[in-house]
């Protein structure tokens, strides 16, 4: 059958008339007459179409919704209706209508008078006003002209409300401002309460007896007094030798340590090990190093890959101290940025000393340690040392402190350097040794008053570098522009993508004339370079590079650098399906990721059997933190997943970004440790040459609230002044954002001093919001779910998403969430299922069936125990009362959602119904989407008007992660301070972004209940032993009653 379609549209009705001409082709070889055509007519109403679920009401498509021709507000078939296209009669797909609409819009545009705006800008610049807001309708080109003019005047310009509201300012402007968003900026929410509920809540509230008169402020707003008891920060990582020990006892112990060391070193096995150690480049500077340590308080060491600085220098210090009979007093700490590094290095040094791990050399990481009373050299993560500093700011008894991998410029490391620089004058006996894998030692030397430096040459064989163009030429791999890995089908088309999606290095390569620049390469290679995109990693290219090495190069381990677990798991699947590489008898493929269990990571360092090649798929953890001795080939994707922070828009970004030249050099250095190696760069040489010299330090690209809390807990003074002393101080706006958040959640008072709540949050190794949620769960007898959620958010999500069974995995996750519309509840139910399966020793099968990681769940179980012990230490949990005393409401969905609101506030989203879908809006960035991995991603309409979320992150779009749908009552009782509306007829929250109205009696009841709740919480925070179930029984009962008001989840 063939179809010919003609269409006409009535000018006065919402209908189309389609005429179909149907023609049947008979198999008979006979002439066909005109009468064979049978026309028929079909009239379809666009209004009826728009009510169908799959109708796409506009050019941007969407899930359909209210009618395209409906006169009901907000129910058009487009973006503001149920779908995501235009409203009402908008027909952008119709070229005639589109041309006419664009002509009308152009006619409506105002003419820009540049002289008028020069005058406006001059007045603003010289006046007292900080900004100027003008409503005008200019074209985009005119708006760009205004932006250029503002730049020339030293001002900032931004157009809001689809270009209708123009702002000039003396300060940088964010991308979104709720106060200028006339449609979605803020809305009035009417609170509904039945007369019966109002009566019951009022009676319960009146029955409660307030035990103490206190102002009705937010419970965290009171500053702590100097006499407040400070909670314990945990066990010390290194205990100094007790003062009770006599000099003779110390001398005896020092002699014993020396005798044992001499005996071990004299053994035949150790002579062979000593011979190996002496071949390392670090041995050549041993004497110079020990002399510098003895004569200087600070020493900076830079050493190339393979020089032995990480394993040998701490040993030299330990051996020197023991040899000179100072072993009893010797207390050496060496920090590492990652858990795996602390463990593997401690194990290596123990082996080199002929000892068991945990004797004179040990380690301490979160939730795991191996050491003894005789441990004199301890490897720990930087975070563990920072928590020790909270308890002992002077590092009493520590004689030597080595800080490794300082070149990585992690936030903890930069923070530690500020503390140590202030500590050194008070501890002239403390020796500080800073170790870097790059040659920028001068930066750190200058920071510590021009401290002496020592550089250790590397011990590597020559490494050949091949770039993308060389790899394509050798392997003959063809990059297909139509591949799903890339958007668009040509470099020209990719150039038309939004500028925000591209980075300078990718743009640089797109401007290259391929035929001219690569004229000496084959046509096939040039074609592939034309199709190559720097925005996405082609895993097929990675697979082809691995296969090329295995077919054409000699033996030796292959180390592949990828950006994260997602790429590692996808590449693992590709390798398993590869005819050559999938042969497990010939290839040992091992993933390496920082969050993997330590037992699994250890086999990466072992050499495989003969005739079997090891292939390690790793993140940048393998750049410098660990050394895999038998690597000969390195495949470098050129990127690492890096967090950045947009302080102006208060938005975290997590995107793969190009590494620095220093990191690229580190990756190259991983090859050639045992013989000449090869480094395969999966990006062009042009990009490599244009990379930044060093990566931005983490302190400049992450939110700072947890760091600010640490600063206050260590009593280091004003946050801004302290951080101004950093090696590279963070943006003051980032600092201010962090302080404002800590004030909002009640951790800091108006004077930036710790409140009682703030003191408690300092004891928990958690993000302040998650820590507050945990405390609130304890207070309101939802302890078990709070522990589970805190463990998952602090570590990682236990759900796994296999590529080939994603639909089943999503369904399993949704089954845990039920109808709760909550990722957090899904976490709780998954963990409860795991615990139940574990009781019957069926946890492995349960995890396999439900797509859960048993390793992650075990880690969560350990972390829950740690958090429970910390809560016990600070008095919030009395273990003698049993678990039931703290879990009365653990299965009450509304109460659990309320404590999530208490902890996650101000991370609040408004849920606004748009036809058959819900649109989500935040105060900071306006419209957001739910992350695709969320159980809420497939929900079209939410039963409750708000959401709270754990994180808001910009990736390919702006997404909220780990969200829970909450009621207005949860927000009113557990959110921010309630402020009377300016018109006196309601209450506001979140700086006026959220407005609530109700009858006078309902508003008074809510405010009274909130005031009593704040009093009760203030007392509980100040006195954790207070039994809130007794002291505040009436208030808690009233809260529970209100949260269950008229079956909110209808």
Cα separation, 743 vs 719, in Å, equals 13
In tens, the pLDDT along 244-280 reads 456 778 888 889 898 888 888 888 888 888 888 998 9
Q: What is the mean pLDDT of the chain?
A: 83
pLDDT of 798 over the 50 cut = yes
Cα separation, 565 vs 344, in Å, equals 21
Mean pLDDT check: name the lowest of 118-127, 204-213, 349-358, 940-949: 204-213
Give the pLDDT of residue 594.
59
Give the pLDDT of residue 314.
96
Fold of 110-173: Ribosomal Protein S8; Chain: A, domain 1 (3.30.1370)
Helix, strand or coil for residue 857?
A: helix
Please choose, from the candidates 150, 75, 159, the residue with its C-alpha nearest in 3D space to the C-alpha of residue 120.
150
Environment class of 111 (CB within 10 Å of its CB; exposed 0-12, middle 13-18, buried 19+): exposed
User: 500: pLDDT confidence band, cut at 50, 70 and 90?
Assistant: very low
pLDDT of 818 over the 80 cut = yes
Enter the DSSP assignment of 754. B
* Beta carbons of 830 and 823 less than 8 angstroms apart: no
| Arithmetic mean of pLDDT, 470-494 | 66
Enter the DSSP assignment of 39. E
CATH 3.40.50.300 range(s) for the chain read 247-456, 463-699
In tens, the pLDDT along 867-908 reads 999 999 999 999 989 889 999 999 999 999 999 999 999 999
Please choose, from the candidates 794, 813, 829, 832, the residue with its C-alpha nearest in 3D space to the C-alpha of residue 934.
813
In tens, the pLDDT along 423-442 reads 999 999 999 999 987 767 88
Cα separation, 837 vs 507, in Å, equals 52
Helix, strand or coil for residue 856?
A: helix
Cα separation, 930 vs 787, in Å, equals 24
pLDDT of 60 over the 50 cut = no
Level-2 CATH architecture, domain 247-456: 3-Layer(aba) Sandwich (3.40)
| Arithmetic mean of pLDDT, 747-775 | 94
Cα separation, 940 vs 938, in Å, equals 6
CATH class of 463-699: alpha beta
**Against a cut of 0.75, is the pTM above it?**
yes
| Arithmetic mean of pLDDT, 910-922 | 90
Residues, the chain:
1050
Cα separation, 879 vs 869, in Å, equals 9
* Beta carbons of 84 and 60 less than 8 angstroms apart: yes
Q: What percent of the chain has pLDDT over 90?
A: 56
pLDDT of 550 over the 50 cut = yes
In tens, the pLDDT along 150-186 reads 999 999 999 998 888 999 999 999 999 998 888 877 7
Please choose, from the candidates 679, 634, 683, the residue with its C-alpha nearest in 3D space to the C-alpha of residue 658.
683
Question: Which neighbouring-strand residues pair with 41?
Answer: 19
Give the pLDDT of residue 246.
65
Please choose, from the candidates 181, 268, 265, 345, the residue with its C-alpha nearest in 3D space to the C-alpha of residue 926.
181
């Amino acid at each position: 059958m063939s179809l010919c379609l003609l269409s006409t549209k009535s000018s006065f009705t919402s209908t189309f008339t389609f005429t179909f001409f149907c023609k049947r082709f008979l198999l008979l070889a006979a002439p066909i007459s005109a009468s064979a055509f049978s026309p028929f007519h079909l009239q379809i109403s666009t209004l009826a179409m728009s009510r169908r679920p799959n109708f796409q009401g506009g050019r941007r498509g969407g899930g359909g919704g209210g009618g395209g021709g409906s006169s009901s507000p907000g129910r058009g078939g487009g973006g503001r209706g149920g779908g995501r296209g235009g409203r009402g009669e908008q027909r952008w797909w119709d070229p005639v209508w589109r041309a006419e609409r664009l002509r009308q819009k152009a006619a409506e545009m105002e003419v820009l008078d540049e002289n008028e705006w020069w005058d406006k800008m001059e007045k603003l610049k010289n006046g007292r006003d900080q900004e100027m807001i003008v409503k005008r309708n200019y074209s985009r080109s005119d708006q760009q002209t205004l932006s250029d003019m503002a730049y020339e005047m030293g001002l900032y310009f931004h157009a809001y409300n689809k270009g209708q509201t123009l702002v000039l300012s003396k300060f940088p402007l964010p991308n979104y401002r709720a106060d200028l968003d006339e449609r979605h900026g803020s809305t009035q929410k009417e609170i509904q309460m039945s007369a019966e509920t109002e009566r019951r809540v009022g009676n319960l509230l009146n029955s409660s007896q307030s035990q103490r008169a206190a102002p009705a402020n937010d419970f965290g707003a009171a500053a702590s007094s100097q006499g407040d008891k400070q909670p314990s920060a945990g066990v010390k990582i290194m205990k100094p030798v007790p003062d009770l020990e006599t000099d003779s006892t110390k001398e005896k112990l020092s002699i014993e340590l020396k005798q044992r060391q001499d005996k071990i070193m004299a053994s035949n096995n150790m002579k062979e090990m000593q011979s190996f150690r002496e071949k390392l480049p670090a041995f050549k500077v041993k004497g110079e190093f020990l002399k510098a340590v003895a004569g200087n308080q600070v020493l900076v060491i830079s050493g190339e890959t393979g020089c032995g600085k990480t394993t040998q220098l701490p040993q030299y210090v330990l051996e020197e101290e023991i040899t000179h009979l100072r072993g009893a007093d010797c207390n050496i700490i060496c920090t590492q940025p990652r858990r795996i590094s602390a463990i593997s290095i401690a194990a290596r040094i123990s082996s080199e000393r002929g000892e068991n791990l945990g004797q004179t050399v040990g380690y301490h990481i979160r939730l795991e340690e191996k050491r003894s009373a005789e441990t004199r050299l301890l490897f720990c993560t930087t975070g563990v040392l920072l928590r020790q500093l909270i308890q002992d700011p002077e590092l009493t008894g520590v004689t030597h402190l080595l800080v490794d991998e300082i070149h990585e410029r992690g936030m903890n490391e930069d923070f530690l350097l500020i503390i140590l620089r202030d500590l050194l004058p008070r501890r002239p006996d403390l020796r500080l040794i800073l170790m870097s894998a790059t040659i920028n030692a001068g930066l750190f030397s200058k920071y510590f008053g021009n401290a002496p430096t020592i550089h250790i040459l590397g011990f590597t064989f020559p490494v050949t570098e091949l770039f993308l163009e060389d790899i394509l030429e050798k392997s003959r791999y063809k990059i297909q522009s139509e591949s799903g890995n890339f958007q668009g089908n040509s470099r020209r088309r990719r150039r038309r993508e939004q500028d925000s999606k591209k980075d300078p290095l990718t743009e640089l390569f797109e401007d290259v004339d391929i035929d001219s620049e690569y004229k000496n390469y084959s046509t096939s290679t040039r074609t592939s370079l034309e199709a190559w995109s720097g925005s996405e990693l082609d895993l097929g290219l990675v697979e082809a590079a691995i296969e090329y090495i295995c077919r054409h190069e000699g033996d030796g381990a292959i180390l592949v650098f990828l950006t994260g677990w997602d790429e590692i798991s996808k590449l693992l699947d590709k390798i398993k399906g590869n005819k050559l590489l999938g042969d497990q008898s010939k290839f040992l493929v091992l993933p390496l990721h920082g969050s993997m269990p330590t037992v699994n990571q250890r086999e990466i360092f072992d050499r495989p059997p003969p005739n079997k090649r090891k292939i390690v798929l790793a993140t940048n953890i393998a750049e410098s933190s660990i050394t895999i001795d038998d690597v000969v080939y390195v495949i470098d994707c050129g990127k690492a997943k890096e967090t950045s922070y947009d302080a102006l828009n208060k938005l975290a970004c997590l995107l793969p970004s190009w590494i620095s030249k220093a990191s690229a050099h580190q990756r190259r250095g991983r090859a050639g440790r045992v013989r000449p190696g090869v480094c395969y760069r999966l990006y062009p040489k042009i990009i490599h040459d244009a990379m930044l010299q060093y990566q931005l330090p983490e302190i400049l690209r992450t939110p700072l609230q947890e760091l600010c809390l640490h600063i206050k807990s260590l009593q280091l003074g004003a946050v801004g002044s302290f951080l101004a002393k950093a090696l590279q101080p963070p943006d003051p706006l980032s600092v201010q954002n962090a302080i404002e958040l800590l004030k909002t959640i009640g951790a800091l008072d108006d004077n930036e001093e710790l409140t009682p709540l703030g003191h408690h949050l300092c004891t928990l190794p958690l993000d302040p919001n998650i820590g507050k949620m945990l405390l609130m769960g304890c207070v309101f007898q939802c302890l078990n779910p709070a522990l589970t959620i805190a463990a998952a958010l602090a570590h990682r999500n236990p759900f796994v998403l296999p590529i080939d069974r994603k639909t089943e995995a999503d369904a399993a996750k949704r089954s845990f969430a039920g109808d709760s519309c909550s990722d957090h509840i899904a976490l709780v139910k998954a963990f409860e299922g795991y615990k139940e399966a574990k009781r019957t020793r069926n946890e492995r099968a349960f995890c396999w069936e439900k797509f859960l990681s048993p390793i992650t769940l075990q880690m969560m179980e350990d972390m829950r125990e740690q958090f429970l012990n910390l809560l016990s230490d600070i008095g919030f949990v009395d273990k003698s009362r049993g678990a039931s005393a703290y879990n009365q409401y653990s299965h009450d969905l509304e109460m659990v959602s309320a404590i999530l609101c208490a902890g996650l506030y101000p991370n609040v989203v408004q849920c606004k119904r748009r036809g058959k879908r819900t649109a989500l809006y935040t105060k900071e960035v306006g419209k957001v989407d739910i992350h695709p991995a969320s159980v809420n991603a497939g929900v079209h309409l939410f039963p409750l008007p708000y959401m709270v979320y754990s994180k808001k992150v910009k990736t390919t779009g702006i997404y909220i992660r780990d969200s829970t749908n909450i009621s207005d009552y949860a927000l009113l009782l557990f959110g921010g301070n309630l402020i009377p509306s300016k018109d006196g007829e309601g209450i506001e929250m979140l700086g006026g972004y959220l407005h609530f109205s109700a009858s006078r009696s309902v508003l008074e009841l809510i405010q009274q209940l909130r005031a009593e709740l704040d009093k009760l919480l203030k007392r509980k925070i100040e006195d954790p032993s207070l039994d809130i179930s007794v002291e505040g029984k009436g208030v808690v009962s009233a809260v529970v009653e209100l949260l269950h008001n008229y079956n909110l989840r209808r």
